Amino acid sequence: MIRNLDTALIRTFVTVTDRASMTAAANALNLTQGAVSQQIKRLEDVLDCSLFERDRRGLRLTRAGERLFGKGRRLLSLNDEIWAEIAGSAVAGKVRLGVAYDLVGTLLAPVLKAYADTYPQVEISLHCAASPELAAALAAGMIDLAVIEERVGPSAGECLAVDRLVWVGARGGAAHRKRPLPVSMVADTCAFRPAVLSALSEQGLEWRTVFENGNIDATTATVRADLAVTTWLASTVPADLDI
């Protein structure tokens, strides 16, 4: 008997896997979290197997889910390629994309790869900087698009997701107990800086700057070495660090 997979369900499954979150996938797909959960359940019913299981860090693929993920991504890529070619809407050109430092290797990496696979004729030029710098570059016409971080509120752009800002330290570290509190921030232009300074002031905490040079990797290394704490969006915190 011939059976067909619903590519909409596969797309939801791949998106949930990429983001490791039903909520983040719902934002990306412009669906409610309930709709995403229902689509995953429908796909599991069709395939007669569980695709996800939960642990303390969130969603994790089952063995069946792992097998489906790679094939599902290829199926979507082929589906999108057929639509682009047959519908005569092949996309080509150059795009200058600005991305905040901490979003490149976490949330956007799978998105950029999927886009590059789907639209191989598009040349993506990636520019990484702090969010205020990217906003200025966009206004000046130096980049075409920007994915930046802002506090919740009125914005000139479209909100892609809402996330929590959290304190982060080394696994089992002691830096958070030191006074003055050792704090590492990527740069003085960091979008998080006003919120961080406000929180420290409200708590009446003495603090000192340990490292500040605009390099996200160096900041991460400083935190891993338990020399300081820092702040990140909850969804971008490396698995080997504590919130």
Domain range holding 225?
A: 165-242
| Structure confidence by residue, pLDDT tens digits, 109-142 | 778 888 887 778 888 888 888 888 888 888 888 8
Q: What's the Rg (C-alpha) of the chain?
A: 21
Asked if 17 and 33 sit in the same domain, the reply is yes
CATH code for position 232: 3.40.190.10
Number of domains comprising the chain: 3
- Per residue in 56-83, pLDDT (tens digit) is 777 889 999 999 999 999 999 899 888 8
- Using CA atoms, how far apart are residues 73 and 79, in angstroms rounded to an integer? 10
Phi first, then psi: what are they for 129, rounded to 5°? -165, 175
Q: What is the pTM of this model?
A: 0.53
Strands 93-100 and 181-184, how do they pair? unpaired
DSSP class of residue 142 equals S
What are the respective helix, strand and coil percentages of the chain, to the nearest 5? 45, 20, 35
Judged by DSSP in three states, 213 sits in coil
Whether 180 and 238 map to the same domain: the answer is: yes
In the chain (243 residues long), the average pLDDT of successive 10-residue segments reads 89 91 88 92 94 84 93 91 71 83 75 80 84 85 84 71 82 85 76 78 81 71 83 78 80
